[in-house]
Every structure is written in C-alpha cells, then in structure tokens.
Amino acid sequence: MTWGLESASVRFGQTTALQDVTVATEPSTVTVVVGGDGAGKSTCLRALVGLVALSAGEARRPPKREIGYVPAVGGLYPDLTVDENLAFSGGAYGRKGAGSYATSSAILERIGLADARSLLGGQLSGGMQRKLALAMALLHEPALLVLDEPTTGIDPVSRFEMWRMISRSAAGGAAVIVSTTYVDEAQRASSVLLLEQGRAIAMGSPFSIIEAIPGKLGVVSSPAQPAGLSWRWGKSWRLWAPSGALPDGVEPLRPGFEDAVVIASMAGQQEVQLDAGTR
Amino acid sequence: MPVLAETRRVTVRYGALTAVDSVDLTVRSREVVGLLGANGAGKTTLIRLLLGLLRPSSGEALLFSTVPSVSARRRVGYVPQTLGLYADMTVEENWTFTLAAFGARLVSVPSSISDLKDQLVGTLPLGAQRRVAFAVAFSHAPELLVLDEPTSGVGPLGRARLWQDIRQSAEHGAGVLVTTHNMEEAEQCDRLVVLVDGRVGADGTVGDLIADREVAEVRSADWQRAFEILDVEGFVIQMHGDVLRVPSTRRQVEDLLERRGVRATVTTVPANLEEAFVMMVSARSHG
Amino acid sequence: MWAMIVKEFRQLRRDRRTLAMMIVLPVLLLVIFGYAARFNISRISTVVVGPQAEQVAAHLHLPFQVVEIDPDAGSSVAALRLRDGKAVVAVVTGSSPIQFLMDGTQLFAVQTAESALGHMVQTAKANGIRVPPIAVRILYNPRLITSWVLVPGLCGLILVFIGTLITSLGVVRERQAGTLEQLAVTPLRPWDVIAGKIAPYLLVAAVDLVVIVGVGIILFHVPFIGSVATFGLGAALFLLVTLGMGILVSTVSQNQGQAIQLAFMVMLPQILLSGLIFPVSSMAVGVRWIAYVLPLTYFIDISRGVMLKDTPIGALWQPLLWLSVLAVVVLGSAILRFRRDLAPSARVGKAPAATAEQVAA
C-alpha cells in the first residue's frame, strides 16, 4: 500500500496551487519534490499530510500517529528547551515515560545535540533548530516522513547531517518524501517529482529523467547570450535544441541532472512538449 | 585586475569566541568569488568587516584600498539575506528610494525588471523579489557587489536567471563576493574560499577543492543491512537511491561488509564537491 | 532625508489598519461614551411598602420611578428588594418617621435620590403642604465609600484585560512560531489543544482573582459578607468567558501586535459601558444594549451583590444565566474557529512561509 497523491488538485480561490499531481512514496525510499518558489512543493506536501483540502483527486496517508511532519519554517517551540520540545512531541504522539526519555537521548546523541539539551529552542542556530525539528518528527518512528524544505538556508555541514538522519530513516523502513530547491539533493532520491507552477513537469528516477530529455544540449563559450533556449553556467552558456539540431560551432554536452531539471523547467514554463515519459 | 576588497590576516574575537581567524581574502574586479562556510558566524562577520560595520581585533580589512568608510560603502552594492526591500512599496518606489538614498542620478527601472515595476514587492514570488533586490543593489553602478546567499530558496530556473544577472555585472567590470550554502552555486563561482571554524580551509577553484579525493561506492541487494553496518561503525554515508557512498577506502569497506556477511560490490569513484567539503571539514576539526 | 519622508508617507498610505485606528476609532469611541456617561440618574426604581403606600406613592414623581406598591409588606421586605437589586430606594410607611431606605452600592443613584428628595420636601413646604417626618437610611454602604463600590468591579475589569490578553497572546505565539499548523498534524484533537491552552491560564487567573479580592479587602476594607460559593460560581463562569474571548481574539490575529490591539479594543468599552462607573440603567437606550453583551456587566452585579449586600444565589440567577450563555457562545465560537485553524484549509495559506521572512518589512 503506497501513500501519496493521485491526480491531486488544490485551488485557493482563483489561484491553482496544484494541478493534477500524482506522486507515490514507497517504504525504504526517498522521494524528492523539486521546484522553485511558488511551484507548489509545500502545497503538495501539506495536501499529503492533510493540512490542505484537495479540490480534486485523492491523498493516501497512514493514520496520524504514523506520520512525521516538519514544516518549512518552525516546527519547534522557541521558548521550550530541547528536552521539553522532544517531551512534548513524544507525549503528543503517545510515547510516554522512560522509554521516551531513552529514545530521545539516543536521538540527541546521534544528531549531536546532546550537549545542548537544556538550551531553549530559540537559542539554537538555524541548522540545529532544523535538526531538532527533524528529531521531534522521528521520535515516534513514523512510517511516513514528510519534510518541507528541511535544508533550505542552513550551512553545508548541518545539511549533510540532516541527510544522514533522513537516510537512516529510509534505511530503517520509512517512506520519506522531501521537498527542496536544491537539485543536487534531488539526485540522491530513488524518485524525483519536478514541479513548475503547480504542475508535474517530470517524474521518475534521476536517471530516467535525464534519459527522457529529448533533443540535444550544447555549450557556448562566447559572452553573448545565444539565440534559443539557453541559460548561464559559470562563464559559458548552455543551449538546448529540442529538435536535436545544434547550431554550428556549438559543442554538444551530455546532460547532467541539473541540466535535465533546467531543461524540463523551461519546457514546462513555455509549454514545449516533452516526451510522454516525463509528463 | 584591481583589488576591490581585501582582508589580510584579519581576526575577530567576541570574548572567548574567535569568529574569524587570520583570514586572507581578495576580491578583484571582473571575478566572482564564492564564500562557503561550514557554519554561519565566519561568513557574516567577514562581510560586516568589509562593509566597515565591524572593526577587526587584529589584521586589516580594506575596501577599495582604504579602511572601510561611508564613502567607500557608496561604491558597494549589498544584498543581505533579507533582501532589504520594503514589502509594502512597489518595485519602482523601492528603486527610486535607493537611488535617492545613494545620491545617484535618477534613471528608469532597468528592462530586466520593468514588467514588475508597479507591483508591490511583498506580492512577488521569491525569485522575482531576489531579482529586484539585485537590480536595486546594482542601480547606483557599484564597483563591488556583496550578495548574501543570493539564490537561497529559489528553484533551478530562477537560480540560472539570477546567475545570468550576476555574471553580467561581473562582465561590466564589477567584482562580486557571494556567500553560499549551496554546492551547485559554488560551482558557478570563479574561485571558492572555504571557511571552517573561522579559518580558511581552502582557496581555489572547485577542481582544486575536489582534488583527487575518492570515495567508496557500495551497491548491494541488501543495502539496508549494509547501511546499518556502516552507520553503526561511524561511517558518514551519502545515499543515492539505494547506492551508498562512503568516504573510505574500497578495501576497508569491502572487508567490513564481508565480515558481516553482506554481499556487495564496492568500487572507488571520485568524490563530489559536497563529499570533498565534508572530508576537508572533518580533517580540519580533527587536525 | 526627503527620500525618507516620501517613503514613510507611501508606506503609511497603504497601512489601512493603522489609518482606520487613527481616524475612525476615536470618533466612534467619543460618540459611544458621550451617550453612555451620565452622572445624574433620571430614573430611580423605587418600591413603596406599608399602610400608606398608595398615598405616598402618589406624591412621588421623577426621578423616583415607582415599580412596586405593596401595602402589606414591611421594612424587612423592603430591605430584601434592595438586597436583590429590584429597587434602589424603598419607602417604608406605617410608622413615623417615613423611612427612605437607599441602596448604598448605587452611588450616583443615591446621591441623586437624596438631592431630589430634599428638593421635593422644599417645594412642598414652600407650597404650604405639610410634610411628614422623613428619615433616610442608607444600607450596605452607609458612608457611600467609592472604593467599596469600585473594587468589586475593578477586580473584574483587571481580569478581563489580563484574561483576554494573556490567552490571546498564548495562542498567537503558536501561530507566529509556526507550530499551530503542526499541531493539526499530530494526533491531538482541537478540543485537546484548546483545553490544554485554557487550563493553566484558568488556574493562574483564579489565583489572581483571589489575590486581588484579598488586597481589596485588606487595603480598602471592602466587606465580603455574602456567600463565597456564589462568588466562586460567578467568577468561574466569568473567567470562562474572558479566556474564551482571548482564544477568539487570537483566531483573528496574525501576530502579537494585532492581538494586543484587539484585546485593548475589547477592554476599552467595558470600562465605561459595564456599569463599573455609570449605572447601566442610566445609559441612553441606543448604547445600553452594549452593556448587556459584556460579561463584566454581569460579574459586577454578582460581585457587588455578594460582597456588599449578601445577595443570595437565587436573586442572582439572571446574571449567572447570562454569563453561562455568554460562556457557551464565546467558547463555542472559539472552538469552531479554532477547529477551522487546525483543519485542512482551503483558504489562501502562505507557503513557503520562508518567503515572508525573507523580505524586510
């Protein structure tokens, strides 16, 4: 039984935040939802968790007790200590007593917050706060772990440690779904959903997404922007020819995952048709 | 190329805490320098030093070859993480305010954001806000741009567009200092300066940083068990789907898994930037 | 510098909420209070008892408004009418002198009554009418001490403000920290959250009330001659209403600043319109109805009655009933709105909230 969204649409008045989006999660895997700001990533996850009502389609999720959720901002109480935050989360999910204390100690050790136990949530750095929020969601060993932009804006070392926690959770059997704006994180997933303005632009494993990009990718080194669908990379430009024919003098390049994502986003914005496999 | 901003063995101490420790940093005209930090304190402090908002405990910070001053700051375009825009004013109003505040000649809103000029900044999506913030910072033709995490929270396409603007300003002669947490962004810079615990851990291109570091890649049908074993042993594992990457030698990993009865294929592959970064950071903290 | 001025004006022009407060609110308040504030009482409810009740009643005219004539009742019944708040003045005929009993807890009414009585006697004498000997006896607050009358009401007022404000801040803090939404994802039900939020404040507010009343008694020598149980019941209902109002305020506030503004606006009318200073009965009808939806109005009836007059619970059934109704309405609305907060939203939620944080206001 997989959890996820099926042909889900969400409308807020005149705005359509999500349109006909399908995403599935499997135990022991990490699914990543990638997109820019306003793409609908948060709405997608909140619909999955039940914070947002669907205008169409279906959401499948386990009972509340088995869900762990970390919102994009917050998720912890700044005026409670690390210990108290964990205690509240444990209590809310029905884990009480000594067992809970032992588990939270273990978790604190593993995420490196053991020395900060008595610090107030508000006193922690950004990275530590996100780790604490994640720990609170992991305390009750959820079957479905939903994380909304857990690593946006935190330092690389904390980000690395967050992904350790996430990987551990998946390796331990949880179905994990994470939203992010960082494409290199998406590359680590078993399956990726690329959202653009509320619609699914691409879906599948990172490899299949790269393979599904039609046409050819080229590199242009001159400083002027080449005609056509192009974007800046370092000191040069990348040029995508959907038809497969690169202009003269343009060196072809094997697309990496980031290239594939940019191409798919461009295609999505300009409504250029891609292969059936990416829809 | 002229040096626009420079620090020489600069150190900043807050009581017992050393935020910046003997850091050498240079930003020249026409180059994009990325400042990558293991934690926040060092980067923010360095920027504040260069802008003259903070005095060093020792060493020196130079802005346009002089001690940072208000007049020197006029030649700098700074975009903080909070963007420094007024959400309840339109793009055009923000534009004219900044120009007036810097005493620059009033020109019209540039074409890159002219289609947004009558919209309230607070109603724009984040990517557009950042582009506006960038254009506004560039409005008074600064020679040095200091951008604090310019593409945080923005998606791949928006990031590409922002970097287009950044590159263009460098080509027009400006020097750009960018702080970032993002590996992809780091790869867009001409040069990277990595701060670890306030000290410079590395200074060079991405290629220099990765150097010839390698990791062990593990493929196994029983990958969950492999993960568990490696995790318990204290290895830092990066997971890609069901493939595990471990900063260790192939031999070590192979032996360990064999001893625990897990069948796996282990190969040696080059490290990616993030792995190189983490390896460098942990080496530093133990060194 | 000019650029700065221009910018500030532009921002102010768009801040409709502040503009409204600066212009509309003062006008509104002035109008309401203008109609509510009355030092002179135009109607004083009067009861006349004793054998000559009919004759004496015929001579009484405004401001005395005769609401009951009972020739068979005596002074004890008259006193009861005062105690239960049915009348402010009770005239006891049948023995000499004629007694004018007055309820000392109604300061302005008593002062008006005394002066009106004096004036009536003067006029009668000047017209050559023989006036029988009259004695005025002020019950329950014989020396008309202001603090005795104010303190019971003040206790209530303080609790309105603190109760509403503190509860509202408590919930708004959750909203601002982003944890409110997250509660919706946990197995906790809306009722769990509300009850959990009210309980500590209820306890603290109850202790608060005991302390303030204690200080009133000790410092100002305000008597407490009635039933503590009755007072307790009234106080409990009153607290439920004010704390519920706090939750309601919080459901319409996005941040602590707004919650404080709103709590303040809720408290302001209660100072002048709840009968704390100016009697409700003397307010112009157009504004009097406001008093009847304010919980403080009923709490003042109860606290003054119990503390100063030993009014029994039976006579206070009306204010107690209305407090109960208010409690049900307010708490009910609070729970419904709160449920909406915790339930899946189809409103425009802001996502990701990181956007709002990125731009300097």
Query: B153, A170: Cβ pair inside 8 Å?
Result: no
Two structure tokens written together for B20 = 């910046």
pLDDT tens, residue by residue, A228-254: 788 888 778 888 888 888 887 788 888
Phi, psi (rounded to 5 degrees) for B192: -120, 135
The model's confidence at residue A278, banded by pLDDT at 50, 70 and 90, is very low
- Which residues in chain A (162-181) have CB-CB distances under 8 A to chain B? 163-164, 167-168, 170-173, 181
The pLDDT score that the predictor gives to residue A31 is 95
The pLDDT score that the predictor gives to residue B284 is 66
pLDDT tens, residue by residue, B167-216: 888 888 899 999 988 887 888 899 999 888 888 888 888 888 888 888 99
Query: A46, C349: Cβ pair inside 8 Å?
Result: yes
Place of tokens 């000649």: B105
- Cβ count within 10 A of residue B259: 9
Distance CA B216, CA B197 (A): 27
Mean pLDDT of B40-44: 73
pLDDT tens, residue by residue, B215-243: 999 999 988 899 989 988 888 888 888 89
Contact C248, C335 (CB under 8 A): no
* B–C CB contacts, 8 A cutoff, strictly below: 51
* Residue C2 with chain B: CB contacts under 8 Å: 100
The pLDDT score that the predictor gives to residue A100 is 65
Distance CA C129, CA C343 (A): 76
User: Is residue A48 over pLDDT 90?
Assistant: yes
Q: What distance in Å separates residue A264's CA from the closest CA in chain C?
A: 22
Distance CA A213, CA A261 (A): 9
Q: Does A138 touch chain C (CB under 8 A)?
A: no
Identity of the highest mean pLDDT range in A263-272, C249-258, C339-348: C249-258
Two structure tokens written together for B55 = 């005095």
Query: A181, B155: Cβ pair inside 8 Å?
Result: yes
Phi, psi (rounded to 5 degrees) for B214: -135, 155
Query: C348, A149: Cβ pair inside 8 Å?
Result: no
Mean pLDDT of B39-58: 82
Phi, psi (rounded to 5 degrees) for C341: -60, -40
Q: What distance in Å separates residue A36's CA from the closest CA in chain B?
A: 3
Q: What distance in Å separates residue B102's CA from the closest CA in chain C?
A: 10
> Radius of gyration over alpha carbons of chain B, in Å?
22
Query: C353, A73: Cβ pair inside 8 Å?
Result: yes
Q: Which amino acid is at A179?
A: S
User: Is residue B3 over pLDDT 60?
Assistant: yes
Q: What is the ipTM of this complex?
A: 0.82
pLDDT tens, residue by residue, C76-130: 888 888 888 888 899 998 888 888 999 988 888 898 899 999 998 888 888 888 8
